[in-house]
Structure 1
């Protein structure tokens, strides 16, 4: 007997000999009810935020239109929620906190048509087993409120020796649930929480989700003892206003309304999604299925893949989505905290939703942030020359927004040696920080004389001159004009998917020819030469269609005299016209006619294009299409003068089309004259020979032109060309401005034969 071992005495992994006696098996016994209840409570109430979720859902089920939440120590010390719902009947209070007591189910089959948040009757029972629970409630037909205390699912007295029955007190209609000392009898669980602030932030996130979704319900949440509210939403607030108060105006101003339905799969969806102008470092998705806040990894992954085409690398969207699915297709009883639900035809429903999101983003029908730009008094307008007016421009540098894939920025997992080495003809240069083509050319401007490549790159990334932006509270205007919709549809009809992908994935390489306005862009393993004047003209036209009636505004301080500006353009046209034609034209009459026309259309111009002109003929504001870039004020007179003969004011569709084309031409960067040294700038040496000193000769260039050239270069590289990635729908006509000059795979095939 001394040599024998029981199962408990054998070391782990030791085999038992065949002749050894087995210990008698332990008998199976039923667990004590208190143990069972505590196990169940630990599954349902994992943290304070889960307890609050159950209480919020019960309050909304009770018809509450106002919820007030108070939290202390992250909910561990105190968690109190007060609602104005229909209350709890006094006769139901004795069994209120017993397990599986509910007013929402009678038979198991009722789960197939459940339309409320709660249904199992476990929330209050679970809380009562791991916290001190107090409930004060009053129904509409009751003359007073009733207060009861619970522990382990049963009524308990407030103090020893007192009766446990509910006590009548004064109170308002509704229910107040107070949870104190959560997990007081589960010390291991209580010690697992790291900080009260972290738990409070989780609570604010949960309250914010339900505040966005529950229209018509007011929410407030704060720390105990604080005067300020963490969340405060009025009952009358619309969904977008709720998102604005909880998630900031930055996302609320960039939202698109989204809805779709399919009778075949028995679902409908409604919500708000961010457009291609908004992105954050982490996806924010508020998903509700049959009004339950749930998570769905498959839907989240599919939505992120859909947005990947429209957002820059590392950018993620904001999405609020409410799915209504036929209850017979949904299984709500699959997770203790009801965090997840299962529903039929998940893949098909997700595909329909993602396709609808893709269509909305492709239409580029977005709301924009409204900004106004003030021009400081004393700003000089550049001198207008014959080759300055109405001619587009060229001058970019490298693209600072291209993805940086240097080893220092990559995560450790991506630095591992791949299993199979890729072919060299598939390798793509994506590092935008390495040397550019432009750094290999000698500059004739003083801006690059005596400076190295690093200095030039640093200057190219400098922001423009100080601009004051003022954000207004003007609500986005939903354009329902059939003419504008037809113009947008025409752009989509003539679009080129392949060319759109080139601009959506391009990396800026450098300027090839400033005079001819040629820039080099790389897309994949291909190199393109692009006429970016043509491209930007089409881009600004599409921006005009997309943001129709929602433009920002350049504020002119002080205002300009409209007739004086038109007279500048008229004098230039007079110089450019043949002598006989210029003599036969009454230019003063031309100026007056155009000024009268613009003033008569001032209401239309202000409402649709943010071009503000007073009745006295003062130019007060100009359209603002894109931030951090100012169109040439030297081209402004020509733009205004052409509004007379070049815009068809007689028909709505033609009027909008021609005006936006003229606006796009004005916004397209101007072509600046190339500096050529004058003979007087050449020095003669003592032998009489002329010796060109390029560095000294370049000093004579107009400093205004030098500054404008630097500004255009900066805007092209850091503002305009990056904007093409998310907002340009390339049309088939743009193909003549894009030439493929190199294909890495094609070059490999050529040189392999050598």
Structure 2
């Protein structure tokens, strides 16, 4: 369709207005090479920052350890990059700026193993067609540097009337490329750049990205005429220091390091990401795939979705991700500016990276716990701990001449209500307010803070039999009890002994809030339960209650369930799972463990109330605490682990190993929120049934944590030093809050 230039825009030219020569089909002609080159240049060099990106990549490919960038008018007037790389041979200068001339690629198959930034040989050629290009270079073996000027891909004289051949000149080893008057012959493109400061900011961003990624390479960037540099990074700076210099200390102070790999997808990912304490209005993603700075909408969205559960609304993270993938699985030739790449199994790789980042974010509270241990009552600094004598058998953990601090008079900032009979704060919150995987101070459908037992708990019947307590005279058990007392941490034990239960904060991560004195603490009750049930096993050794199974369970069948799970896990780790794989002999393991337990059934019954019949039927397991049911879903794994994880030949190690496995079995499992608890079944009835089971179990665990376990902690738990490693975190101090509100 032809349009008449003199007519209004979009109006068609009438057929009668066309002459005979143009009324037929037009002839196809080959474009002039200069037109072809300018079209290609417009696709590759869209803005000054794209020209700079190509020049930086060429400099890094040349083995440079120092890059200096000089910019004038946002790169439109002047864009100069100087490096100390290997330089360019004088004989290669005549074809340096011709299209498709490169030292990095010979055959098309080489793309499958390309390990350099550039490979097509189009960057310098494109720049020379839309700008005045000057190259000054010197190799290690050359006696002098050589300077060459280029125009439209060919050598050009520096001044009219001179020869276009390269001229010798003084210079240091490396290459200096000067681009002047970019887009001088494409006025439409040049007029599109309204602000030189915006273009300079884009250049600063690109230099900063490569400065963060390229270790052992120094970068500097400044405006022409300025005495100070906008970016100055030393070659010896670490990645965190580079981020600190370029993006600021507020980012660098909140970084967490991550690294993951998977041989199945042939990738390795590592980088740095901010934790939940830091958020900005727009995501900053520094993405490098095989050391090439690229963009990926899919990866950006996946990262933002990962952080959505940790950051406030409209909050976004800073993430630096370096992803290395087998070059044979990556297609780098999908974008003119090499801004994007395609690689196999993208969804699987991105999902695994995001899951790893999510696990790091979820564990950040644990990493902070050690730093806040000195805030516990009576806590000591690392220097004081190093000067403290070894704890004695009586549990004393300080030097004999340690002085008790003088009591101070209480004031308003010390006063707080801790009467649990009064109304709780949880009663003011809406019931069943599930958010994601955690529930904030939710006390269940019985009403927030209610003491009413769940229906499943009320249905449990306990039979009390008259049986005399069996005193334990075993030296091995007494030594294990003494070891617990030696590891006692008095200040933390005092916190549990005087605490008031506040509520469950997150039942997926098993976090609960307690108050002791004027301080509020977050407690990992999973970790605390592990220590409590182990100590309970030592205290009640030989006098456990009994959970009976009617009818009895087939021991080998239960062990078979756990063995099949272990087999699938082992196969997933080795990435070669096969139903006929004989590397993991599940049946042999089941027989071995079953024979061990049946052979020692008398000892298990006497000491642990674990009853197994000679025919291999499981009749009962030990009951540690009344009012709380252990997660029977963990029973198969518990029984299977008794085989390899218990040293049956050494009495002390045997009792210690068995009780620790029993404690692991009794620890409440992390349960998702009710909305997320439904399984992916084939019919709606199965989904509804599973959801109801999850809700019932969740209700039982919440009730037991508040009304059974934490009261037991208060009465019997000896807080050992192992609980200091991520089990208790001070969340608030009334004195500190009082000062804050006093200023308001």
Smaller-chain TM-score bracket: 0.5 to 0.7
* Deviations 1:184-223, CA, capped at 9 Å, x for gaps: 0001100000111100000000000000000000000000
Cα distance in 2 for residues equivalent to 1:25 and 1:537: 85
Are residue 82 (structure 1) and residue 82 (structure 2) matched?
yes
- Identify if the C-alpha distance between structure 1 residues 392 and 74 changes in structure 2 by more than 3 Å, giving closer, same or farther: farther
Unpaired runs of 5+ in structure 2? Answer: 376-406, 436-486, 493-502, 529-715
Could you say which residue in structure 2 is the equivalent of 1:699? none
Contact 1:72 1:223 in 2 (8 A): yes
**Equivalent of residue 383 in structure 1, options 409, 412, 415:** 409
Could you say which residue in structure 2 is the equivalent of 1:612? none
* Deviations 1:548-605, CA, capped at 9 Å, x for gaps: xxxxxxxxxxxxxxxxxxxxxxxxxxxxxxxxxxxxxxxxxxxxxxxxxxxxxxxxxx
Contact 2:4 2:12 in 1 (8 A): no
Contact 1:269 1:323 in 2 (8 A): yes
Could you say which residue in structure 2 is the equivalent of 1:322? 322
Could you say which residue in structure 2 is the equivalent of 1:538? 521
Are residue 669 (structure 1) and residue 652 (structure 2) matched?
no
Cα distance in 1 for residues equivalent to 2:240 and 2:12: 62
Contact 1:6 1:23 in 2 (8 A): no
Number of residue equivalences: 448
Could you say which residue in structure 2 is the equivalent of 1:102? 102
Q: Offset at 1:63?
A: 0.2
Contact 1:80 1:178 in 2 (8 A): yes
Cα distance in 2 for residues equivalent to 1:286 and 1:144: 39
Contact 2:255 2:272 in 1 (8 A): yes
* Deviations 1:156-187, CA, capped at 9 Å, x for gaps: 00111111000001111000000000000001
**Equivalent of residue 654 in structure 1, options 720, 733, 737:** 720
* Deviations 1:229-270, CA, capped at 9 Å, x for gaps: 100000000100000000111111111111100111111101
Q: Offset at 1:660?
A: 9.1
Question: Matches of residues 116-515 of structure 1 in structure 2 within 5 Å?
Answer: 116-364=116-364, 365=366, 383-384=409-410, 388=414, 500=505
Contact 2:72 2:79 in 1 (8 A): yes
Contact 1:304 1:317 in 2 (8 A): yes
- Identify if the C-alpha distance between structure 1 residues 369 and 67 changes in structure 2 by more than 3 Å, giving closer, same or farther: farther
Could you say which residue in structure 1 is the equivalent of 2:465? none
Aligned alpha-carbon RMSD (Å): 4.7
Cα distance in 2 for residues equivalent to 1:6 and 1:295: 39
* Deviations 1:423-465, CA, capped at 9 Å, x for gaps: xx9999xxxxxxxxxxxxxxxxxxxxxxxxxxxxxxxxxxxxx
- Identify if the C-alpha distance between structure 1 residues 388 and 137 changes in structure 2 by more than 3 Å, giving closer, same or farther: closer
The DSSP-based 3-state class of the residue aligned with 2:50 is helix
Cα distance in 2 for residues equivalent to 1:94 and 1:386: 85
Q: Offset at 1:35?
A: 0.3
Cα distance in 2 for residues equivalent to 1:396 and 1:170: 85
- Identify if the C-alpha distance between structure 1 residues 307 and 144 changes in structure 2 by more than 3 Å, giving closer, same or farther: same
Question: Matches of residues 569-580 of structure 1 in structure 2 within 5 Å?
Answer: none
Contact 2:48 2:76 in 1 (8 A): yes
Q: Offset at 1:537?
A: 3.2
Cα distance in 2 for residues equivalent to 1:44 and 1:367: 47
Cα distance in 1 for residues equivalent to 2:346 and 2:48: 31
The DSSP-based 3-state class of the residue aligned with 1:41 is helix
Q: Offset at 1:393?
A: 9.9
Cα distance in 2 for residues equivalent to 1:301 and 1:111: 29
Q: Offset at 1:384?
A: 2.2
Contact 2:415 2:518 in 1 (8 A): no
TM-score normalised to the size of structure 2? 0.54
Cα distance in 2 for residues equivalent to 1:196 and 1:101: 32
Q: Offset at 1:539?
A: 2.3
Unpaired runs of 5+ in structure 1? Answer: 374-380, 403-424, 429-481, 488-497, 505-528, 546-645, 671-707, 719-754
Cα distance in 1 for residues equivalent to 2:74 and 2:312: 37
Cα distance in 2 for residues equivalent to 1:132 and 1:109: 34
Question: Matches of residues 605-620 of structure 1 in structure 2 within 5 Å?
Answer: none
Contact 1:256 1:366 in 2 (8 A): no
Q: Offset at 1:315?
A: 1.1
The DSSP-based 3-state class of the residue aligned with 1:268 is strand
- Identify if the C-alpha distance between structure 1 residues 178 and 392 changes in structure 2 by more than 3 Å, giving closer, same or farther: farther
Q: Offset at 1:279?
A: 1.0
Cα distance in 2 for residues equivalent to 1:369 and 1:80: 50
Q: Offset at 1:277?
A: 1.1
- Identify if the C-alpha distance between structure 1 residues 42 and 500 changes in structure 2 by more than 3 Å, giving closer, same or farther: farther
Cα distance in 2 for residues equivalent to 1:384 and 1:656: 33
TM-score normalised to the size of structure 1? 0.53
Cα distance in 2 for residues equivalent to 1:252 and 1:285: 14
Contact 1:393 1:668 in 2 (8 A): no
* Deviations 1:387-412, CA, capped at 9 Å, x for gaps: 958986999999xxx9xxxxxxxxxx
